Amino acid sequence: MHDPSERAGDWPLRRLMTEVVGSGHKSADDMTRPQAREAFERILAGDPAETTLGAFWLANRWKRNTPTELAAFTDVMRERSVETAAPDCDPVDCGANYDGKHTSALLGVAAGLVAAAAGTPVVTHSGDRVPTQEATAYRHVLDELGVRTDLTPEESAAMVDETGFGFYYQPNFNPGVDALYDRRAEMGVRTFVNTIETLANPADADVHLGSFYHLAFAKRIVDTFGEMESQDVSRVIMFQGLEGYDDIRPGTTVVAEYDGDFADYEIETAEYGMDFEREDLAVDDVAADSAAITEEVLTGERRDHFADAVALNAAVRIYAGGDADSIGDGLGLAQSAIAEGGAQDRLAALREF
């Protein structure tokens, strides 16, 4: 970890609270890039007292962080904490919310393996029961499938190159943020750390796929990438995912896309011949049931609404990676990858890794 004695700054969190961010959501000022950088350097170094840190996190939640602040936080995180390991291929980085899902099936593992079988490498990353929801994330579904998840970043990169699908484990590639677990758990609400950890990009991918609750947040993330100094992605696709995760919603899903210009549009599942509702994707045990659904879809045993949802989510990943000109074209590639057995083979390779 970074030694606090190596830092030279004039903005401890208590002063930032008093003079900049702590006066309420209507009158608070935004931090400059240097102020935001110093703040997160101090947080990673364990500098602030617990009360001060909690107040700072809440003040930022109330006032809402700017792209400049989020970019500064992310840059510090990548410089001070994140250990990147880039595979030889160029994957799509799937930065889903680390605090997980608690109601509906997590389809990203299945979708990622289908995309990999269609020729689009995919990277996922998560921690273990991350606050505030402490719910099911990528790691837990992979564990249920018998896939190794406690990997070093170098092993994760090798996994991507060997199987087309990779998982990076937060405690191993982003230990500084992982060390904040207890303090985050005590907060009881999300903080900006929930946002920036999804932007860690441990594989140094050129494409980011993420999710949002509101369209304004997607625009803020696009602008955040534009202001970052630690990474330069060429394409960002965000969508209004189910439970805020990177799973397409049944019915209508709003998508925001940036590849030089910002655009937003809607995906209608009915346009792809799919007829299912949000309740149809609910499960009792998210980790175990999602793993079972993954295997059943990839082996062709299951051809219901879950299979449709997996294929559509894979299509979005294929499209994001530039291997299809449209989501519709990506859907055809995804369905072929399942029908021809390629996706099942990717799962077998992942288990053998």
Note the pLDDT tens digit of each residue in 140-192: 999 999 999 999 999 999 999 999 999 999 999 999 999 999 999 999 999 99
Q: Cβ neighbours of residue 256 under 8 Å, at least 6 residues apart? A: 212, 215, 218, 219, 222, 236, 237, 238, 239, 262, 263, 264
User: By percentage, how much of the chain surpasses pLDDT 70?
Assistant: 98
The beta strand positions in the chain, using DSSP E, are 92-94, 122-126, 165-169, 207-211, 235-239, 252-258, 262-268
Average pLDDT, the chain: 95
Q: How far apart are CA 346 and CA 338, in angstroms?
A: 10
Say yes or no to pLDDT of 202 above 80: yes
**Tokens found for residue 117:** 């079988």
Say yes or no to pLDDT of 42 above 80: yes
pLDDT given for residue 93 in this prediction: 98
Backbone angles phi, psi at 340, to 5 degrees: -90, 0
Nearest residue to 72 via CA among 192, 169, 202: 192
- Alpha-carbon distances of 35 from 126, 137, 176, 221, rounded to whole Å: 28, 32, 19, 20
**8 A C-beta contact, residue 78 and residue 200:** yes
Q: What domains, with CATH codes, occur in the chain?
A: 8-64 (no CATH), 92-352 (3.40.1030.10)
pLDDT given for residue 211 in this prediction: 94
Decide the pairing of beta strands 207-211 and 122-126: unpaired
Note the pLDDT tens digit of each residue in 266-308: 999 999 999 999 999 999 999 999 999 999 999 999 999 999 9
- Helix H or strand E encompassing 202: none
pLDDT given for residue 118 in this prediction: 98
Angle, nearest 10°, between helix axes 33-44 and 67-80?
40
Residue 24 — pLDDT band, cuts 50, 70, 90? confident
pLDDT given for residue 244 in this prediction: 87
Token pair 């990858």 is at which residue? 337
Say yes or no to pLDDT of 82 above 70: yes
**Tokens found for residue 11:** 């903005």
pLDDT given for residue 330 in this prediction: 98
Note the pLDDT tens digit of each residue in 2-19: 344 344 479 999 999 999
Note the pLDDT tens digit of each residue in 213-264: 889 999 999 999 999 999 999 999 999 999 989 999 999 999 999 999 999 9
Radius of gyration over alpha carbons of the chain, in Å?
20
pLDDT given for residue 25 in this prediction: 81
Nearest residue to 256 via CA among 295, 292, 208: 208
